[in-house]
Homo-oligomer: A and B are copies of this chain.
């Protein structure tokens, strides 16, 4: 069995590769990491093959997809704020490349699992206190629009038997290790990560803003879990709202104080960025997760625990 991860040099791709190589659930002979910059295997392992490939280039998708592949994790994307600034690039990478991958799978191996990471950004406008599975998407960003279009096309390709698609709507991930990125939600990790590294950090949103978040460990566990569910369990929609926890920015800072003390929290400056605040405020604060729990997906216990896990994994 062969598994491919697009966006394999990225944060999620690396964490997923690492978990797969530790044999957390999926058995495979070959793991292909593909990205526009050359990925490096997170753990030296003879099963890993690293491929530098721009999927938007003519012929690249056909080169990547072959009949040996059984599971494709399509994580490559232009993140939210970047897609808002560069509309055409977002359309190309987030939508057109996804469609090309689906079309190549349809032609070469329709039984292939295509696991796609969607986003809270598909929601927007009027939102209830708790978003249910039947609540309409109404994206207020180009990133959210592109993800929502991919959800639709993946559902239809799956219904037609052209692919075995599975879509996970990821909560905002916190605490992400590494550097800030151009995602509108980048601050949600930065305000924890940078102070824990002893660095000052700017928070662009209001303390009262509520977020729907998940630790990276839980997201990775859920990405591997979705590859192990029989397709028929998903019913008439391949889209799953993943479990998260609902916290305000203040809750996050209280948890940081609890785990690391006030002097760490004091490294955060509040510098409002109305653009970021508006995008993030348009996302759901809380989501009904009864279906995802029934399907066997995992939830975090608390944000304090997520901070402790981050410290254990990244700082020690």
Q: Which residues of A contact B (CB under 8 A)?
A: 87, 124-126, 128, 133-140, 142, 145, 148-149, 152-153, 155-156, 159-160, 235-237
Q: Which chain B residue has the least Cβ–Cβ distance from A90?
A: B156
CA gap between A125 and B134 in the complex, in Å: 10
Contact, CB under 8 Å: A140 / B87: no
Which B residues are in CB contact (< 8 Å) with A136? 133-137
Please list the 9 inter-chain residue pairs (A to B) with the smallest Cβ-Cβ separation, ordered nearest first.
A125-B236, A145-B156, A136-B136, A134-B136, A149-B149, A145-B152, A149-B152, A148-B152, A142-B156
Nearest chain B residue, comparing its CB with the CB of A142: B156
Asked if B160 and A139 make an inter-chain contact with CB atoms under 8 angstroms apart, the answer reads no
> Chain A's interface: helix, strand, loop or mixed, by majority?
loop
Residue among A126, A136, A155, A235 having the largest count of chain B Cβ atoms under 10 Å: A136
Please state if A155 and B160 are interface contacts (CB–CB under 8 Å). Answer: no
How many angstroms between the C-alpha atoms of A95 and B236 in the bound complex?
A: 22
Contact B236 A160, beta carbon cutoff 8 Å = no
Chain B residues, CB < 8 A from A125: 235-237
**Apart from A142-B160, A148-B152: 4 A-B pairs, beta carbons within 8 A:** A125-B236, A135-B135, A137-B152, A139-B155
Q: Give chain B residues whose Cβ lies under 8 Å from the Cβ of A138.
A: 155, 236-237
The one of B135, B139, B153 that contacts A149, using a Cβ cutoff of 8 Å? B153
- The answer on a CB contact under 8 Å between B152 and A139 is yes
Assess whether A145 is in contact with B139, with CB atoms less than 8 Å apart: no
- Once the chains are docked, how many angstroms separate the CA of A278 from the CA of B142? 34
Task: Report which of B126, B134, B237 forms a contact with A135, defined as CB distance below 8 A.
Answer: B134
Measured in the bound complex, the distance between the Cα atoms of B138 and A62 in whole Å is 30
